[in-house]
Structure 1
């Protein structure tokens, strides 16, 4: 009987070992860290815009009587303007656009000046990259652009009749410049 008991105990122990190890599996594992990839973003911004300086003044409005326009202008240093005067400023608007797929639109307009008869009488024109520019129709600029040539012209028209409502008034000019990122590839219609 001792042999049967020993065999039963050994069989029970073997079954216990099998049952106890049934939930545990052996597996292997390995972990490795890859090389560091540096990711840096591009940029899109204006530098300092100096459109408050460099203005010239010349009596040369398009509606002046024939032969009366001045041939040359003078540096504008806050002289009082009169009908027929044109103020002009030529500036390079500094731009930084970096990034392989960076593209933007450039827009400019006049910030609304104080409302009075002089403000209403003045007309403002722009040339961007040598082409007449209409506010509301931005142009496209791409990576590598470092400056945008802009000519601002503020005209006090001569007029065909007397208009004394613009005398002894003040107004101002302030430009508003905007860069807006757009996708590098246009949308498919």
Structure 2
């Protein structure tokens, strides 16, 4: 075999080896590692509230003082202040509360809450950001006891056997819930 034939044969063999014999192609590659580093999470909380000592009557009823004995249809209110704690580059959160609260086993009272940040009224939804860290939020909680239905109504509310009884109004939780910054 002459040198040219041997060289061509060697080149063909090398090409077959590079192709892997199965039609694949060998190629060069490289990768580099990017160090992750530390990231620090933010935070979100409400300090323990400071609340009015008692529920008081609201609206246009004659009795505007402290609630001693409610009757169906009464509207009562209580104010609580919280300090907002929040840190995070894109932190946004809403203040929320339940829309109803149980009064004993038979009654659901309607709940509404109006919020102020400092002295400014907040619109609904009440949104706070990291810029509000350390500021005071006031929640004015209003509970409306239903006037109810007749004893034969369905469901019967504030039925006569509730008169004179003592029933606990459920606790009302004010929550601070983060909003997805990418939504």
Higher alpha-carbon Rg = 1
TM value normalised by structure 1: 0.53
- DSSP-derived class of the 1:113 partner: strand
Q: Residues 126 and 132 of structure 1 are in contact (CA less than 8 Å); yes or no, is this contact kept in structure 2?
A: no
Q: 1: distance between equivalents of 2:70 and 2:85?
A: 36
Map 1:42-81 → 2, pairs under 5 A: 42-51=42-51, 53-57=53-57, 60=60, 69-70=61-62, 73-76=64-67, 79-81=68-70
- DSSP-derived class of the 1:144 partner: helix
Q: 2: distance between equivalents of 1:59 and 1:103?
A: 33
Match of 1:175 in 2: 172
Q: 2: distance between equivalents of 1:161 and 1:183?
A: 46
Match of 1:93 in 2: 82
Which runs of 5 or more residues in structure 2 are unaligned? 1-36, 152-158
Partner residue of 2:141 out of 143, 152, 156: 152
Map 1:1-189 → 2, pairs under 5 A: 41-51=41-51, 53-57=53-57, 60=60, 69-70=61-62, 73-76=64-67, 79-109=68-98, 113=102, 115-117=104-106, 119-120=107-108, 122-129=109-116, 130=121, 139-145=126-132, 146-158=135-147, 163-169=159-165, 170-184=167-181, 186-187=182-183
Q: 1: distance between equivalents of 2:89 and 2:122?
A: 27
Distance 1:106 1:157, change over 3 A: closer
Distance 1:59 1:41, change over 3 A: closer
Q: Residues 56 and 88 of structure 1 are in contact (CA less than 8 Å); yes or no, is this contact kept in structure 2?
A: yes
Q: 1: distance between equivalents of 2:74 and 2:100?
A: 21
Distance 1:81 1:115, change over 3 A: closer
By how many angstroms is 1:116 displaced?
2.5
By how many angstroms is 1:98 displaced?
2.0
Number of aligned positions between the proteins: 133
TM value normalised by structure 2: 0.55
